[in-house]
């Protein structure tokens, strides 16, 4: 009977964090780190302010973006594209490198003016044949060199090849 009691006691014993190889506080510390990173982005955009007693709220983000090949975190703060639901744009990224040597061009036709505005046929035909050319640079994951985004002339990153974890 003593042996049975000892076995039951050992089965019911609560294991420590070291024995579990798990730290229950780790999730909280990780969340604090992510929030501090995202607050830092906000402070880069604005003029330096005095320290506040209460930390500023974290700006809202549509997703956390990861590389599809190696799962490396690429972006913590982004906006989802209105019509293309698998695309995102962001200003602050991590683990990304921009290939400034390569230029990607995208041609888009200039929108025609409305019929209400009176222009000669010659001017409107010239405008309809013109095309705007947007210039982008490819963006690669630093860990595995997978192309995950492009960067435009305003240094906005447009992600298209990513894994998104929505909040």
Q: What is the pLDDT of residue 166?
A: 74
Owning domain of residue 103: 63-108+134-166
Of 159, 145, 156, 136, whose CA–CA distance to 64 is shortest? 159
125 found inside a domain: no
Total domains in the fold of the chain: 1
pLDDT in tens, 123-164: 444 454 456 788 999 999 999 999 999 999 999 999 999 998
How far, CA to CA in Å, does 23 sit from each of 17, 20, 26, 37?
Answer: 6, 8, 5, 22
Extended beta strands in the chain, E state: 63-66, 73-75, 79-80, 88-90, 96-98, 104-109, 131-141, 147-151, 157-159, 163-166
Check if the beta carbon of residue 104 is closer than 8 Å to that of residue 149.
Answer: no
Q: What is the pLDDT of residue 60?
A: 73
100 found inside a domain: yes
By percentage, how much of the chain surpasses pLDDT 90? 32
138 found inside a domain: yes
Cα(138)–Cα(140) distance, integer angstroms: 7
pLDDT in tens, 14-54: 677 777 777 778 888 988 888 888 777 666 555 455 555 56
pLDDT in tens, 73-130: 999 888 888 888 889 999 889 999 999 999 988 887 666 555 555 554 444 444 544 5
73 found inside a domain: yes
Q: Is 79 helix (H, G, I), strand (E, B) or coil?
A: strand
71 contact partners, CB below 8 Å, separation of at least 6? 163
Q: What 8-state DSSP symbol labels residue 77?
A: S
55 found inside a domain: no
């Amino acid at each position: 009977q003593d042996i049975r009691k000892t076995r039951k006691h050992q089965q019911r014993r609560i294991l420590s964090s070291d024995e579990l190889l798990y730290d229950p506080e780790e999730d909280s510390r990780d969340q604090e780190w992510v929030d501090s990173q995202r607050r830092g982005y906000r402070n880069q955009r604005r003029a330096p302010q005095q320290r506040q007693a209460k930390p500023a709220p974290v700006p809202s983000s549509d997703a956390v973006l990861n590389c599809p090949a190696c799962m490396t975190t690429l972006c913590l703060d982004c906006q989802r594209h209105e019509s293309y639901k698998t695309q995102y744009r962001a200003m602050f990224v991590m683990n990304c490198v921009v290939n400034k040597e390569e230029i990607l061009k995208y041609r888009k036709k200039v929108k025609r003016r409305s019929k209400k505005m009176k222009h000669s046929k010659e001017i409107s035909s010239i405008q309809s044949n013109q095309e705007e050319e947007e210039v982008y640079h490819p963006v690669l994951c630093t860990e595995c060199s997978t192309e995950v985004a492009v960067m435009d002339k305003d240094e906005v990153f447009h992600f298209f090849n990513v894994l998104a974890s929505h909040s």
